[in-house]
Amino acid sequence: MHITVWNEYRHEKKNPIVNEIYPEGIHGAIANALKDDGYDVDTATLDEELHGLSDEVLNKTDVLVWWGHIAHEEVSDEIVDKVVERVWAGMGLIVLHSGHFSKVFKKLMGTSCDLKWREAGEKERLWVVDPSHPITNGIGEYIELPQEEMYGEHFDIPAPDELVFMSWFEGGEVFRSGCTYRRGNGKIFYFRPGHETYPTYHNKEIQKVISNAVNWTAPLDRERPVYGNAQPLESIKEK
């Protein structure tokens, strides 16, 4: 199984606070944690040619992890379409935090994906609401993050196929923080935490959830179904 961690990689270059937390970039931190779990992982970033997502890269990617924020509009529509089609063909997709507003996620959801937000360094507590779900394997009843950006309801997404985590925020809001979706042959996991100015992706429990999600979104050994004109499988009576 081959993982590609994609990152916009802009905050790290501009903001010394972010650079200090993620000297190898957010993608680097996530990739390192996945490598520690034994996965085969590469990274790709916005400013590479084709955003690092050539056909060759996409075709060998089993699960794509996506982090973006301030440069969603710079991602080319052609690459977005290719990513979406790879998901339909079975590639797993993990969308992190501000990736809720990426072209890829919005296109796959069919909604505005809007939400409430606030940068106040407040406490977040992510509660497990589906203890049968493999994405929660090895996680306790909740994950506590001492400081995070707030995302609040209403989160304008389709009702998730499975709701795995719900967040409590110190400032009074709640949020559907771990959501699964299926699109074609592909599985998608949206996971809320990960504002760039906090060391969220160094948190062992957050890393564990992402690692579990890589496993859960992994493609099957299946072709896309056959679509289009179809011969009858049974005889049809003359009328």
Scanning residues 66 to 125, which ones bind a second copy (CB under 8 A)? 84, 88, 90, 107-112, 114-118, 120-123, 125
Asked if 38 is part of the footprint of a second copy (rule: CB under 8 A), the reply reads no
Asked if 162 is part of the footprint of a second copy (rule: CB under 8 A), the reply reads yes
Q: In sequence order, what are the beta bridge partners of 3?
A: 41, 63
Restricting to residues 41-60, name those near a second copy by CB under 8 A: none
Three-state DSSP state, 227: coil
CA distance 149 to 225: 41
Lookup result for tokens 């859960």: 216
Residue 160: what are its φ and ψ, rounded to 5°?
A: -60, 150
Interacting span for a second copy (CB under 8 A) from 5-13, 25-33, 35-43, 149-157? 149-157
CA distance 101 to 108: 11
Q: Closest approach of Cβ 60 to a second copy, in Å? A: 19
Q: Closest approach of Cβ 62 to a second copy, in Å? A: 13
Three-state DSSP state, 28: helix
Six token digits for residue 44: 């790709």
Are 187 and 148 contacting, i.e. CB atoms less than 8 angstroms apart? Answer: no
Asked if 224 is part of the footprint of a second copy (rule: CB under 8 A), the reply reads yes
Asked if 192 is part of the footprint of a second copy (rule: CB under 8 A), the reply reads no
> Which one among 50, 185, 197, 202 touches a second copy, defined by CB under 8 A?
185
Asked if 202 is part of the footprint of a second copy (rule: CB under 8 A), the reply reads no
> Which one among 173, 192, 193, 213 touches a second copy, defined by CB under 8 A?
173
> Which one among 7, 167, 200, 203 touches a second copy, defined by CB under 8 A?
167
Tell me whether residue 37 or residue 170 sits nearer to a second copy (CB atom): 170
Are 83 and 24 contacting, i.e. CB atoms less than 8 angstroms apart? Answer: no
Closest CA to 92 of 168, 5, 193, 11: 5
Three-state DSSP state, 168: strand
Q: Closest approach of Cβ 230 to a second copy, in Å? A: 4
Asked if 199 is part of the footprint of a second copy (rule: CB under 8 A), the reply reads no
